[in-house]
């Protein structure tokens, strides 16, 4: 069922505001069941970085595939229409769950879902659409969406980076268990924003987000970013500081974005450069044990 008048709500993540409108039936159920993780980020209506409208049963435009990404049963197929709109098809365990169609500037977008059932598939489609939009639309705003876990301690956030399966969540849990005064800020998709200062340098803050992987941790909180830690599994514990290109290379693979589009890539590159130059980074080869968590904290929090 399509509604003639949608219900719209606004959210603010890392100082970027966006809106979501639903044309599905029972809109109150949509926001309560599908977007409950966004409630801590609810905000008053104002100018937005981007907007998303959600429809059911609509015809999706034809597009040409540009690339695809498969990871842990999740698939995103990216492409563009003849009119220059960006298209993202989402599937979960081979089941098609929705298509996101974006304007050229990513300010307005539509998510088409196969039906209006309030299910885990619909939640997956909405979350993925908003993560894609957020990562792309905020790239010119010194903002990046990370794939990382982040722990907050003494007013600073420490981010654990690495490929899937390297132990980001595990190391975060070790900090919570063995290092006093720690709390989890986000377990999968924190947002980092870089703020330039008058002296030509700057500082970064890390923010919680509505996206936190398998661990529900949706905190509308932020703190100064104290450092990055690139993790690698090893039969010993050893940590070393990264500088320059090494720091940049550690950060780069963990940031989401449409890098094959010049305007988006330029924004990401600018922020990545600023982070590599202004935020300390380390490489931690480690076991999943107490000693690794203590060595890491003692080294990077000096």
In the chain, what are the domain boundaries? 7-137, 143-300
Q: DSSP assignment of 192-234, as one string?
A: EEEEE-TTS-EEEEEE--S--TTS------EEEEEEEEEEEE-
- Distance between CA 9 and CA 192 in Å, rounded? 23
**pLDDT band, residue 45 (cuts 50/70/90):** confident
| Mean local confidence (pLDDT), 56-64 | 88
| Amino acid 214: pLDDT | 85
CB 230 within 8 A of CB 250: yes
Quick check: 111 and 124 in contact, CB under 8 A? no
The predicted structure's pLDDT at residue 3: 46
pLDDT tens track for 247-292: 999 999 999 999 999 989 999 999 999 999 999 999 999 999 999 9
pTM of the full predicted structure? Answer: 0.94
Give pLDDT tens digits for 100-146.
999 999 999 999 999 777 888 999 999 999 999 999 999 999 999 99
Structure tokens at 150: 């982040």
Q: Is the pLDDT of residue 1 over 50?
A: no
142 φψ region: left (φ > 0), alpha (ψ -120 to 50), beta (else): left
SS (H, E, C) 40-73: HHEECCCCCCEEEEEEECCCCCCCEEEEEEEECC
Percentage of residues of the chain with pLDDT beyond 90: 83
Residue closest to 129 by CA, chosen among 94, 92, 162 = 92
- Which stretches within 98-205 are classed as H helix? 120-137, 168-178
Dist CA 114 CA 55 (whole Å): 9
Note whether 10 and 48 are within 8 A (CB).
yes
Mean pLDDT of 157-167: 92
Per-residue model confidence (pLDDT) at position 2: 45
Q: Could you tell me which of 246, 239, 189, 226 has the C-alpha nearest to residue 302? A: 226
Q: What's the pLDDT at 158?
A: 98
67 CB-near residues (< 8 Å, 6+ apart): 77, 78, 260
Residue whose C-alpha is closest to residue 194's, from 224, 232, 157: 224
Give the Cβ contact number of residue 82 at 10 Å: 9
The mean pLDDT value of the chain amounts to 93
pLDDT digits (tens, 9 = 90+) for 21-41: 998 877 788 999 999 999 999
Pairing of strands 50-56, 108-113: parallel
Give the C-alpha separation, 185 to 163, whole Å: 20
Q: Which of 15-19, 141-145, 189-193, 214-218 has the weakest average pLDDT?
A: 214-218
Q: Give the pLDDT confidence of 180-205 residue by residue, as tens digits.
A: 999 999 999 999 999 998 776 899 99
Rounded Cα distance, 207 and 150, in Å: 9
Question: Residue 207 above 50 pLDDT?
Answer: yes
**What pLDDT, on a 0 to 100 scale, did the predictor assign at position 4?**
54
Distance of CA 136 to the CA centre of its chain: 10
Digit-coded pLDDT (tens) for 103-116: 999 999 999 999 77
Token reading at 162: 């690495």
CA atoms of 54 and 109, how far apart (whole Å): 9
Rg (CA), the chain: 20
Confidence of residue 213 (pLDDT cuts 50, 70, 90): confident
Distance CA(116)–CA(94), nearest Å, equals 19
Q: Quick one: CATH architecture of 143-300?
A: Alpha-Beta Complex (3.90)
């Amino acid at each position: 069922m399509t509604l003639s008048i949608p219900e719209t709500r606004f959210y603010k993540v890392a100082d970027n505001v966006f809106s979501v409108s639903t044309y599905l039936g029972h809109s109150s159920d949509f926001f309560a069941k599908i977007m409950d993780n966004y409630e801590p980020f609810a905000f008053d209506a104002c100018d937005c970085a981007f907007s998303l409208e959600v429809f059911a049963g609509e015809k999706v435009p034809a597009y040409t595939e540009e690339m695809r990404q498969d990871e842990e049963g999740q698939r995103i197929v990216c492409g563009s229409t003849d009119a220059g709109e960006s298209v993202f098809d989402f599937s979960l365990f081979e089941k098609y769950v929705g298509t996101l169609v974006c304007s050229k500037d990513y300010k307005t977008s539509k998510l088409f879902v196969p039906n209006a059932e309030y299910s885990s598939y619909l939640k997956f489609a909405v979350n993925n659409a908003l993560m894609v939009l957020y990562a792309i639309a905020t790239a010119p705003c010194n903002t990046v969406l990370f794939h990382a876990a982040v722990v907050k301690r003494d007013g600073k956030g420490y981010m654990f980076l690495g490929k899937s399966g390297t132990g980001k969540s595990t190391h975060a849990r070790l900090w919570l268990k063995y290092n006093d005064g720690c709390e989890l800020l986000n377990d999968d998709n924190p947002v980092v924003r870089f703020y330039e200062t008058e002296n030509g340098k700057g500082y970064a803050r890390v923010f919680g987000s509505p996206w936190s992987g398998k661990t529900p941790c949706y905190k509308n909180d932020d703190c100064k970013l104290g450092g990055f830690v690139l993790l690698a599994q090893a039969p010993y514990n050893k940590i070393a500081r990264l500088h320059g290109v090494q720091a940049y290379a550690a950060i780069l693979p963990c940031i989401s974005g449409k890098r094959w589009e010049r305007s988006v890539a330029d924004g990401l590159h600018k922020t990545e450069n600023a982070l590599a130059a202004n935020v300390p980074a380390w490489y931690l080869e480690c076991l999943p044990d107490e000693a690794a968590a203590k060595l890491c904290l003692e080294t990077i929090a000096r």
